[in-house]
Amino acid sequence: MRKQEVRGYGIAMLWILAVAAVYYGAAQLGLLLQLVRGQVTPLWPPTGLALAALLLLGSRVWPGIALGAFLTNVSIGPTPLAVLVIVAGNTLAPVVAYLLLRRAGFRSELDRLRDGLLLVFLGALAGMLISSTVGSSVLMISGAVAPGAFWPTWSVWWTGDAMGVLVVTPFLLVLRRLRWPPDARAARWVEAVALTLFAVAATVLATQSRSSSLLFLVFPALIWAAFRFQLAGAAPCALGVSIMAILAATWHTGPFVDQDLFASMVTLQAFNGSTALVGLLLSAVIAERNETHEEIKRVCERLEEMVANIEPGNPGDYGDYGNPDDQRF
């Protein structure tokens, strides 16, 4: 029994260290997209990764989130005390979001509209209020951010963490269940390649043109992915589109040319939020519809079997009365 406990603790420690390492690596990628003070970004992948780790591995991995957040902030935080408070906020936000989702009956398969809405409102919008409020307040109190810049910093922090949940978490959840379909027809692969090329071309054109109205060119690709491939197609598509849009905003190219921080954030997060919601919710609706169709099909097959098992003319089929044709008065 003791050996099993030691083994269990060892496996848990390995998962904690793995989560911390992946969190730190994702944070370094996220910091490349920073817009405020070198540490506040419009897309914070570690938040989505942390919530996905909690949903898949359970609450036992929260120390890995805290360790990864500490390693990320220790070199960029204004003071040691501020770093510890920011780490606490970055850890508490996904943990609270995880507890809220579990209490509401969230399923990580994301095959119901209910699950998509729960991830949006509880996981992203509500849960990430903690990290953004704590982090922005600490930066303002420590003097790293001027009091007048509190709300712009808070808005970027909150939307960045929320977008991490909306874009990265569904991608990681579907990645866990992704399998190479052995019976996929060639036409299916051709369609997947065509969808990828169309999504990339539409996003490049939309993010390189100075007209913001062209950003809507990516939505046919998202709808196509959600209808034909559900979350397995919509999640990677939404992630890639969001990253390319954020790069355009960071480099001030395309529709983000000559825009200040506030205008860029409004355009960028309205676009990214719309793409994430369209991909997530539409794929959940399609998956739920398909499951309902399959259930109806299974019920019809069972009814057909029951009807086929009833043999006309069998006296046992008429209970205690026998065959009506044999009745005598």
What's residue 321's pLDDT? 47
DSSP string, 70-127: HHHHTTT-SSHHHHHHHHHHHHHHHHHHHHHHHHTT--TT--SHHHHHHIIIIIIIIT
Residue 10 is assigned to a structural domain of this protein? yes
Residue 316 is assigned to a structural domain of this protein? no
What's residue 181's pLDDT? 65
Amino acid in position 277: L
Q: What percent of the chain has pLDDT over 90?
A: 49
Q: What is the mean pLDDT of the chain?
A: 86
Say yes or no to pLDDT of 236 above 50: yes
Residues 35, 96, single domain; the answer is yes
Alpha helices in the chain (DSSP H): 2-31, 45-57, 62-73, 80-103, 113-118, 129-141, 150-163, 169-177, 186-208, 219-229, 231-251, 261-309
Q: Which residue range is the domain that position 149 belongs to? A: 1-177
Say yes or no to pLDDT of 262 above 50: yes
Residue 144 is assigned to a structural domain of this protein? yes
Give the mean model confidence (pLDDT) for residues 68-81: 89
Residues 165, 204, single domain; the answer is no
Instruction: Give me the helix-helix angle, 62-73 and 80-103, nearest 10°.
Output: 150
> Of 210 and 283, which is predicted with more confidence?
283
Among residues 215, 210, 200, 205, the alpha carbon closest in space to that of 256 is found at 210
- Condensed to tens digits (0 to 9), the pLDDT of residues 289-323 reads 988 888 999 999 888 888 888 856 555 554 544 55
Half-sphere exposure of 173 (CA within 13 A, CB side): 27
Residues 274, 186, single domain; the answer is yes
Cβ neighbors of 260 (< 8 A, separation 6 or more) are none
Residues 97, 163, single domain; the answer is yes
